């Protein structure tokens, strides 16, 4: 193949990955936006703040449970078609949510939107890795995951600002408009991606093998480690570091920007050696949390630690995805959507553990809790680094 032939192929792959990045950014912003306008939603629907908070839980359940179920049901469907269907469902449910004033229907719609995001994520990884050579799988996954990191770093603050100007319904209509752009990109720029062989039952045999479950547990404990501390980072910055007002946003933005950079770089690390990357990154998270506890009263050092923490955390997320896919072997297509479920369960557990710590002790207790979990993470990462993909025997031709 000549260089002239390769250039268009690289361009097509870049456009496809850019579309998937945009999709992850838009859907991720739709997930997190509700946090920034929660009080406005509660007031408009005439419910309490804790009741409005259930909208976050409903979405997480849709993502963790509905996403894998929809992925299993569509396992034999072309993945571009799945991506388009997921975005259409996302758009339709968000429009219905903007139009409703019924809290119960709002909860149901949030679950469905979460399920649509879970379906999109699994199909996006398959579509993204199909347009690059196998040795660049990690880089493709890193680009796609960076969309989620960017939604946390930029999508939520921007969405909250729009919500303050246009109201919460206006902010979600902006999300819908961005999703329409994503839909057009998926139709035009994503090539058809034929499903892998075997149905959901056959793939489940490999997707839920013990070696895959071990890495899914690692996924769970990594996110539990980070979110035990991250969920209560603002109280820590206020009470321990002495940061308040606009400076809080600066510190949080520094962390968010680091996660985006980490996901891009983490894709290359995953292609280099995903198992070793998980061990090194886990140690980096633990060291970051230890330093955060030790230098928490020095604002300048805390800012540096937050950057290092964000880099270490998201530098291993692509490797978590790559390890699940490779260890699942023939079940990789079904396994694609499982890490996000494990991550969401980890987030919920970490937030709960950190909440117990801060309620019973002090603002720095969640950081210590995260540090304890980080030690477990290192051990699990080291153990799973020895796992190898299944050896699948090719059928012997007859005759």
Note whether 321 and 341 are same-domain residues.
yes
Confirm if 91 and 180 have CB atoms less than 8 A apart: yes
CA distance 258 to 313: 9
CB neighbour burial string for 239-258, b if at least 16 within 10 angstroms, e if fewer: ebbebeeeeeeebbebbbbb
3-state DSSP assignment of residue 199: coil
Note whether 206 and 190 are same-domain residues.
no
Spatial neighbors of 261 by CB under 8 A, at least 6 apart, are: 310, 311, 314
Note whether 212 and 176 are same-domain residues.
no
Note whether 170 and 285 are same-domain residues.
no
Spatial neighbors of 307 by CB under 8 A, at least 6 apart, are: 254, 255, 257, 258
Confirm if 339 and 219 have CB atoms less than 8 A apart: yes
CA distance 242 to 298: 9
Note whether 182 and 267 are same-domain residues.
no
pLDDT score recorded for residue 267: 87
Q: Which among 123, 131, 137 has a CA at the least distance from the CA of 333?
A: 123
Note whether 54 and 33 are same-domain residues.
yes
Q: Token pair 């139709």 is at which residue?
A: 187
Query: Does some domain include residue 321?
Result: yes
CA distance 178 to 26: 6
Query: Does some domain include residue 172?
Result: yes
Max distance between CA atoms of the chain, in angstroms, equals 77
Query: Does some domain include residue 181?
Result: yes
Q: Token pair 């019973």 is at which residue?
A: 360
Note whether 356 and 237 are same-domain residues.
yes
Q: What CATH number should be reported for the domain holding residue 210?
A: 1.20.1250.20
Last residue of a domain, one of 176, 195, 214: 195
pLDDT score recorded for residue 116: 94
Query: Does some domain include residue 304?
Result: yes
> Phi, psi at residue 199, to the nearest 5°?
-85, -175
Last residue of a domain, one of 177, 195, 213: 195
If one counts the domains in the chain, the total is 2
Query: Does some domain include residue 399?
Result: no
Last residue of a domain, one of 142, 177, 195: 195
Query: Does some domain include residue 330?
Result: yes
Q: Where are the alpha helices (DSSP H) in the chain?
A: 3-36, 38-45, 49-61, 67-73, 79-99, 103-130, 137-150, 156-189, 200-207, 210-230, 233-236, 246-294, 299-328, 332-335, 338-360, 365-384
Note whether 312 and 277 are same-domain residues.
yes
Note whether 301 and 236 are same-domain residues.
yes
Note whether 176 and 245 are same-domain residues.
no
Query: Does some domain include residue 1?
Result: no
Note whether 250 and 185 are same-domain residues.
no
Note whether 348 and 259 are same-domain residues.
yes
Per-residue pLDDT of the chain (399 residues; tens, 9 = 90+): 444 444 455 668 889 999 999 999 999 888 878 766 777 888 888 888 777 777 877 888 888 888 888 988 888 899 999 999 999 999 999 999 999 989 999 999 999 999 999 999 989 999 999 889 988 899 999 999 989 888 877 766 776 677 778 888 988 999 999 999 999 999 999 998 887 666 667 788 888 899 999 999 999 999 999 988 987 888 888 889 998 777 887 888 888 889 888 888 898 899 899 999 999 999 999 999 999 999 989 999 999 999 999 999 999 999 999 999 999 888 888 888 788 889 888 888 888 888 888 887 888 899 999 999 999 999 999 999 999 988 765 544 444
**Domain residue limits at 101:** 10-195
Query: Does some domain include residue 397?
Result: no
Q: Which among 24, 56, 248 has a CA at the least distance from the CA of 125?
A: 24
């Amino acid at each position: 193949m000549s260089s002239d032939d390769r250039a268009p192929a690289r361009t097509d792959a870049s456009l496809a990955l850019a579309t998937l990045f945009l999709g992850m950014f838009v859907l991720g912003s739709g997930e997190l936006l509700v946090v920034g306008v929660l009080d406005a939603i509660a007031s408009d629907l005439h419910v309490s703040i804790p009741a409005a908070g259930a909208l976050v839980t409903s979405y997480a359940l849709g993502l963790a449970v509905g996403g894998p179920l929809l992925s299993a049901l569509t396992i034999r469907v072309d993945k571009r078609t799945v991506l388009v269907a997921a975005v259409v469902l996302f758009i339709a449910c968000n429009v219905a949510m903007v139009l409703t004033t019924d809290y119960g229907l709002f909860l149901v719609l949030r679950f469905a939107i979460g399920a649509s995001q879970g379906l999109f994520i699994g199909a996006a990884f398959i579509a993204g890795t199909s347009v690059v050579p196998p040795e660049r799988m990690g880089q493709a996954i890193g680009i796609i995951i960076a969309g989620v990191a960017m939604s946390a770093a930029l999508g939520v603050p921007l969405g909250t600002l729009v919500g303050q100007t246009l109201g919460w319904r206006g902010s979600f209509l902006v999300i819908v408009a961005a999703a329409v752009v994503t839909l057009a990109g998926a139709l035009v720029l994503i090539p058809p991606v034929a499903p892998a062989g075997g149905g959901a039952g056959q793939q489940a045999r490999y997707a839920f093998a013990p070696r895959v479950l071990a890495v899914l547990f690692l996924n769970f404990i990594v996110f539990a480690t980070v979110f035990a501390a991250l969920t209560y980072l603002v109280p820590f910055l206020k009470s321990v570091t002495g940061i308040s007002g606009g400076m809080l946003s600066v510190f949080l933005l520094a962390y968010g920007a680091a996660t985006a950079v980490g996901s891009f770089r983490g894709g290359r690390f995953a292609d280099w050696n995903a198992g070793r990357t998980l061990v090194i990154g886990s140690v980096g998270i633990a060291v970051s949390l230890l330093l955060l506890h030790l230098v928490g009263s020095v604002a300048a050092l805390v800012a540096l630690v937050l950057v290092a923490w964000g880099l270490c955390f998201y530098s291993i997320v692509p490797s978590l995805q790559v390890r699940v896919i490779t260890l699942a072997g023939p079940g990789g297509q079904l396994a694609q959507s499982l890490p996000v479920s494990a991550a969401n369960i980890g987030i919920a557990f970490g937030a709960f553990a950190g909440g117990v710590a801060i309620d019973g002790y002090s603002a720095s207790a969640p950081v210590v809790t995260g540090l304890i979990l980080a030690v477990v993470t290192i051990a699990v990462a080291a153990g799973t680094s020895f796992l190898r993909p299944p050896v699948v025997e090719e059928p012997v031709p007859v005759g």
